[in-house]
Amino acid sequence: MHPLPKQVSVICQVVNAPPRLVAHLTLVHDVAVNLIKELHQHFPELSVDDEGIFFGAASHDIGKSLYRSELVEAGNTHELAGERLLLKMGFDERLARFARTHAAWPNDDALSLEDLLVSLADNCWKGKRIAKLETLIAERITAATGKEVWSVYILLDDILQKLAETADDRLEWQAQFPA
């Protein structure tokens, strides 16, 4: 498993993030690293902000350290709070935004491919597949690479299927940590 980026580990320590949150961020980050590695292998011409995606995946739910009830209950107060926390800690908007945008893809057509890929990692880590999100990403990759959308979608589907195969192991690993 890919460890959290050092700067995100420090953030988690500073905000006293609960162990389950740190585990979740680690898992989403790991999936993002594997996802981007696969995308670069299949689409070497695809240019995305790897560093931003990795930071975003590793910190997207950091606002839950402030709204701990959202670790076990549905809620989105943590999203804007997480972005504000990261900005207050001196992180650039380019990186802090993922805390706000990771769940915004259904309602925001202006999100970047990087934002969408963080959203994808935040869902597929547990084996969850969202056809609308995957289609949107395939269309963005098609626009960026000039490849046929159907071939992009097939390759993306293969990548996500491979990631989904180990979702139960990730869920089991996360469950061992207290919320």
Determine the Cα–Cα distance for residues 176 and 19; give it in Å rounded to an integer. Answer: 9
Q: Is residue 108's pLDDT more than 90? A: no
Handedness of CA 4, 8, 14, 18 (dihedral sign): negative
Residue length of the chain: 179
Distance CA 78, CA 162 (A): 30
The pTM assigned to this predicted structure is 0.96
pLDDT tens digits along 131-153? 999 999 999 999 999 999 999 99
At residue 179, does pLDDT exceed 90? no
Tens digit of pLDDT for each residue in 33-69? Answer: 999 999 999 999 999 999 999 999 999 999 999 999 9
pLDDT of 114-124, one tens digit each? 999 999 999 99
Q: For residue 28, is it left (φ>0), alpha (ψ between -120 and 50) or beta?
A: alpha
Taking the C-alpha atoms of residue 122 and residue 50, their distance in angstroms, rounded to an integer, is: 16
Q: Which two tokens stand for residue 178?
A: 């207290």
Please state, in angstroms and rounded to a whole number, the distance separating the CA atoms of residues 122 and 96.
Answer: 16
